Amino acid sequence: MAYACIFENNFNFNSLQPISFLPGRFSIKCKKENNEDIADQVDSINNVAFSTVISNPELGREMALSANAIAKASNYKKGLARSYSIIGSSYWSVGIYDVALKNYYNAIDIYESINDLRGIATNYNNIGEIFRKQDNPDNAAKFLDKAYNSYSKIDNANPPLILLNNLGETLIELGKYDSAKHYFKKLISIDKTDNESLRKLAYGYHNLARANFHQEDLEEGLKNVNKAIELRSKIDDTRGLSSSYLLQGDIYLSLFKPQAIDSYYESLEPAIKINALDLQRDVYNKLSQFYESYDQFDSALLYQKKLAEVNNKLFNLQKANQINELTTKYESEKREQENEMLKKQNQLAQETNKTQTTLIWIIGGIGLILLLALIKLFLNHNKIKKYNKQLNQKNQEIQIQNEEIEVQAEELRSLNEMQTMVNSDLEQKINERIQEIREKNHTLAKYAFYNAHKLRAPVASILGLIDLILRTNLSEKESELVFNLKKSANNLDDAIHEIKDILQDEERKKEIQENEI
């Protein structure tokens, strides 16, 4: 017999009469029930959490965390693995990819322990999608291939459509657009009308539009992205809707249509709603570039500042996660040290008890000796003196042992003080290093801004003017001078690009340093 629990927040999964609860935003009420009922309840909570994550990642995460707690308590491994997977998806939805990856890896470890190939494949697919979002198509292809191979080991199982979609997206990143469109056309052939099928259908249209965009088939791309927006609005796919409006804006911009700015603002609203910092970053960047291209520098600067704020938030989230990891590691090491100290204290206590037992025996022996001495007192006075001398020697030994115990206790106190000082110094060094990296990143950001907005724009204007001059009727000597001027301007433009590449390399080095910290 085990404890079965229900999750309460206007959701009813069974008719159990609760007898206890755990406090929180959502209540979990439990009573004794068999393992089969527990599994049904965990699966029910996971199902609702999975459908909720799409439109409300935070709410879906809280539900999955509740399922996670119940599954752990009842040792229901399959439900525990799925809860980790859903928690990972909730972080993926808001762009916190490092935490999402850890939860997906946790899910895979548990699925492997129960040989659940479908669960393993699903999470390999999710990991591949994160690497694709992080502009790492090679790693994405590796994990998606693992997912495909895992499905091939399942009897009578075909790879799910979402995996085909992710393979297509990776092919887009690798520039293989026709191959990618092959997978997306399979997706849009779905004839089911449930929400999950419509979500996959929306993926197909959205990514088909991406392939159209890269191949400059803009009108066809606009038709496909509009279908994706219609479907995602229907199923309340908030993150997907933001992504599709952003793509729509890019297509409108390439068609030189003013609707681009409206699409970008439409993309921003759902991104803010679900606090998807990565999408907010992309939209602010697009808005800044749009206004800059129309010489509306005040608006461009406004969104450049918002972009910097979002990047700072993303940086702070990453640093917070790293600090949490360091804190966890520190606390783990601290617990190990405390356990070691307790072990030493136990050993010392055992030795003390042994000493005390010995002392008791000694005292008992002394009492016996004293008794015998009293009996023989009248018989042999010299023997009484001898026994008294032995008694004094034993007392001196006991005193020496007590002094040794006090010295050992003092040494333990000194070790505790030294450990406290070392821990304090380590924390100070970590904070100083993080502040140093932030200052360097701020300087690089200023260099990047001047390179992007103060140098490249004038050079682009010069090149444009030179092209206009070359189209006029020039004498041979004038043409030669203008060509030389254009060559010099191109050299300057190349130098600016080289500076930009150096800055980008430096930023990557700083990211590596931050990750090492």
Residue 6 has φ and ψ, to the nearest 5°, of -120, 150
> pLDDT of 270-323, one tens digit each?
999 988 888 999 999 999 998 998 889 899 899 999 999 989 988 887 777 667
- What pLDDT does residue 149 have? 87
Cβ atoms of 242 and 279 within 8 Å: the answer is yes
3-state secondary structure of 27: strand
pLDDT > 90? residue 216: yes
For the chain, the C-alpha Rg in angstroms (whole number) is: 36
Cβ atoms of 241 and 226 within 8 Å: the answer is no
Burial grade of 507 (CB within 10 A; 0-12, 13-18, 19 or more):
middle
Measured N-to-C along each axis, helices 77-93 and 97-113 cross at an angle, to the nearest 10 degrees, of 160
Extract the tokens encoding 483. Answer: 């060509």
- What pLDDT does residue 112 have? 94
Q: How far apart are CA 163 and CA 128, in angstroms?
A: 10
Residue 95 contacts by C-beta under 8 Å, 6 or more apart in sequence? 276, 277, 278, 279, 314
> pLDDT of 111-158, one tens digit each?
999 999 999 999 999 999 899 888 898 899 889 889 888 888 887 777
Q: How far apart are CA 391 and CA 389, in angstroms?
A: 5
Which strands sit side by side in the sheet containing 20-22, from one edge to the other?
A: 2-8, 27-33, 20-22
Q: What is the 3-state secondary structure (H, E, C) of 171-219?
A: HHHCCCHHHHHHHHHHHCCCCCCCHHHHHHHHHHHHHHHHHHHHCCCHH
Of 122, 168, 116, 112, the C-alpha closest to 143 is: 122
Q: How far apart are CA 229 and CA 372, in angstroms?
A: 105
Burial grade of 191 (CB within 10 A; 0-12, 13-18, 19 or more):
exposed
| Dihedral sign (CA 447, 452, 458, 464) | positive
DSSP state of 26: S
- What pLDDT does residue 318 have? 73
Scanning the structure block, which residue is given the tokens 């949490």?
324
Structure confidence at residue 1 as a pLDDT band (50, 70, 90):
very low
Of the CA atoms within 13 Å of residue 199, those in its CB half-sphere come to 16
Structure confidence at residue 367 as a pLDDT band (50, 70, 90):
confident
Q: How far apart are CA 210 and CA 213, in angstroms?
A: 5
Average pLDDT value for the chain: 82
DSSP strand pairing (2-8 vs 20-22) = unpaired
- What pLDDT does residue 107 have? 96
Cα 468–Cα 470–Cα 472 angle in degrees, nearest 5 = 80
- What pLDDT does residue 514 have? 62
Q: How far apart are CA 402 and CA 302, in angstroms?
A: 74
Output 464 or 384, whichever has higher pLDDT: 464
Beta bridge partners of 22: 28
Of 501, 491, 488, the C-alpha closest to 452 is: 501
Q: How far apart are the first and last CA of the chain?
A: 47
- The mean pLDDT of 220-238, rounded to a whole number, is 93
> Any idea how long the chain is?
517
Residue 56 has φ and ψ, to the nearest 5°, of -145, 85
- What pLDDT does residue 23 have? 35
Amino acid identity, position 475: S
- The mean pLDDT of 418-427, rounded to a whole number, is 74
Q: How far apart are CA 54 and CA 90, in angstroms?
A: 8
Output 498 or 234, whichever has higher pLDDT: 234
Extract the tokens encoding 508. Answer: 């990557």
Q: How far apart are CA 70 and CA 51, in angstroms?
A: 19
- What pLDDT does residue 508 have? 77
Scanning the structure block, which residue is given the tokens 């997306």?
184
Amino acid identity, position 172: I
Residue 416 contacts by C-beta under 8 Å, 6 or more apart in sequence? 341
- What pLDDT does residue 16 have? 32
3-state secondary structure of 4: strand
Of 101, 149, 94, the C-alpha closest to 121 is: 149
Question: Percent of the chain beyond pLDDT 90?
Answer: 33
Structure confidence at residue 333 as a pLDDT band (50, 70, 90):
low
- What pLDDT does residue 243 have? 93
pLDDT > 80? residue 346: no
What per-residue string of b and e applies to 114-142 under the rule 16 or more CB within 10 Å gives b? eebbebbbbbbbbbbbbbbbeeebeebbe
Q: How far apart are CA 166 and CA 26, in angstroms?
A: 34
- What pLDDT does residue 451 have? 65
Structure confidence at residue 19 as a pLDDT band (50, 70, 90):
very low
Burial grade of 512 (CB within 10 A; 0-12, 13-18, 19 or more):
exposed
Helical (H) or strand (E) element with 8: strand 2-8
If you count DSSP H runs as helices and E runs as strands, how many of each does the chain have, helices first?
17, 3
Of the CA atoms within 13 Å of residue 501, those in its CB half-sphere come to 6
Structure confidence at residue 380 as a pLDDT band (50, 70, 90):
low
pLDDT > 70? residue 517: no
